[in-house]
Amino acid sequence: MDSAALLDLLGNANRRRILRLLAHKPCYVTEISEYLSVSPKAVIDHLKKLEDAGLVESRTDDQRRKYFSIARNLRLEVRVSPYEFGTKSAYPASPSFDMSTCRHLTIDVGGSDDGSLKDLTRELQRLEQLANELSLAQRWVQGRVTDVRDRIDENVENGDGRLYAEIVSALANGHRSAEAVAREIEAPPEMVEEALQRLERQDIVERNDDRWELS
C-alpha cells in the first residue's frame, strides 16, 4: 500500500487507537471493543482494513479466540513546507545493511553481544538516544532545505526558481530522465525538458544520452 493510502487509512481515530493498544499487547475483538467503546462489528471492520494494509495480523489460540497484533515496523512521514507536500513510508532496513555507505552519517553500530538484560537495557537506551538525535538532525536538514530553496528562488530572475529547485531535488533523489523528473514534481514534461536545458547552459546539470545528472 502506498503512503497516501496509508495516510487515508490512519486518518481514522479509532484505527489509530487500535494500533496504540496492539502496540502494548495482542488483543482479541472483545478487548478492543471494550477499550474503544464501540461495537465488535465496527472493530472487525477496522481490523479488516488494517489487515488488508498489512499493518495487522491475527492468530487463533487454543480456546479458538482470535488475537490481533501489529504485523510489521513502519514509519510514515508527512512533509509540509512552502515548497513541498508529500508522504513517504519506510520499513526497517535489512540487518545486513551497511551503515558505512551513508556518506553523511558516522554511527557506532556496535552493540551488546552477550544478550544479558543489563546490556540489552543499555543498548536500548543508546538506540533511543540515537533516534532522538537523528530526529533533530532531520528537522535541521528540512529547515536548511527550505532556506536553500528560498535562496534559489531569489537568485532566479524569470520566476522559475521553485521549478529549478524541484528539478534539482528530483535529480538528487535519483530521478534521471526528464519524464521521471516530470512525474516526481508533477509538471509537464516539455516544461521540465526546457528547464533542464536552461540548467545545462548554466553548468548546473549535464546530459548523458537520455539521462540527466547534477554537474
- Measured CA to CA in angstroms, residue 83 lies from 69, 156, 166, 168, 183 at distances of 38, 15, 8, 13, 16
Cβ burial of 162 (10 Å; 0-12, 13-18, 19+) is middle
Let me know how long the chain is: 215
**Adjacent-strand bridge partners of 212:** 207
Lowest-pLDDT range of 27-41, 53-67, 92-106: 92-106
Closest CA to 86 of 178, 194, 4: 4
- Long-range interactions of 54-63: CB distance < 8 A, separation 24+: 54/1, 55/9, 55/19, 56/18, 56/19, 56/22, 59/26
pLDDT of residue 50: 96
Q: Mean pLDDT for the chain?
A: 88
Q: How many CB atoms lie within 10 A of CB 155?
A: 9
Is 90 exceeded by the pLDDT of residue 160?
Answer: no
pLDDT of residue 18: 97
Q: What is the rounded CA–CA span in Å between residue 29 and residue 65?
A: 9
Lowest-pLDDT range of 37-41, 75-79, 141-145, 153-157: 153-157
Lowest-pLDDT range of 4-8, 100-104, 142-146, 197-201: 100-104
User: How many Å separate Cα 10 from the centre of its chain?
Assistant: 14
pLDDT band, very low/low/confident/very high, at 122 (cuts 50, 70, 90): confident
pLDDT band, very low/low/confident/very high, at 25 (cuts 50, 70, 90): very high
Q: What is the rounded CA–CA span in Å between residue 137 and residue 143?
A: 10
Residues 35-84 pLDDT 10s:
999 999 999 999 999 999 999 999 998 888 899 999 988 888 888 888 88
pLDDT of residue 112: 57
Q: What is the rounded CA–CA span in Å between residue 195 and residue 158?
A: 11
pLDDT of residue 110: 65
User: Can you tell me the mean pLDDT for 174-194?
Assistant: 91
HSE at residue 129, side-chain half, CA atoms within 13 A, is 8
pLDDT of residue 49: 96
Q: What is the rounded CA–CA span in Å between residue 197 and residue 59?
A: 57
